[in-house]
Amino acid sequence: MNAEFSPRAAEIATHARFFLAAGGYNSFSYADISDRVHISKASIHHHFPSKAELVRAVVAQYREEAREGMDVLDRQLADPLEELNAYADYWSTCIRDGTSSFCICAMLAVELPTIPDEVADEVRGHFQDLTTWLASILKRGMAKGQFHLRGSPAIEAKAFMATVHGAMLAARAFVDPKTFRAIVQPAIRRLTLTT
């Protein structure tokens, strides 16, 4: 996980991340983490004095990993359409394999009115990072004639991001990983169609 985390703190953060993906900020307590990690709640407080600090650290690490993943796609794939498909395929594989069925920032966005400010700031930061990256892909794809956008790249990026997160939700609701791909692939095709 994060290089600044001790091995025990990394273990705590890993379990917190699981709980966040499963049910959001209010889905777990330090008692739940204690049961999983087999340490006392006081020991958890030693590593993360508050739940807000724990979740902020987990989301900050999640953002770092996401930015690294976006950078890898930018470096490895020179084709914007391939990048967009690779992003969708990443989530499709995670959902199908059960490795990560939901973006923790999408889950936390639902709770923005009630979560601590420091967590909310990280969540908003992730959405801004993702929007900026998707918009840059769409701009490059427009320049190559691959994408034909009806709105600005920023608006289309937000719409695509909302489609991806909605598809995660639908896959979870229908207990069918194939639902994700069935929703996202037509959204990508629409971006390539001329009007």
Query: What global pTM score does this model have?
Result: 0.92
- Sequence spans of domains, the chain: 7-192
Report CA-CA distances (Å) from 4 to 14, 61, 111: 14, 10, 27
Q: In whole angstroms, give the CA distance from residue 86 to residue 75.
A: 13
| pLDDT tens digit sequence for 70-102 | 999 999 998 999 999 999 999 999 999 888 778
Question: What CATH number was assigned to the domain covering residues 7-192?
Answer: 1.10.357.10
Question: How many residues does this entry show for the chain?
Answer: 195
Tokens of 184: 């996202």
Looking at this protein, which amino acid is placed at residue 46?
A: H
Q: Are 126 and 60 spatial neighbours (Cβ–Cβ below 8 Å)?
A: no
Where does the pLDDT of residue 49 fall: very low under 50, low under 70, confident under 90, or very high at 90 and above? Answer: very high
What average pLDDT does the structure give for the chain?
94
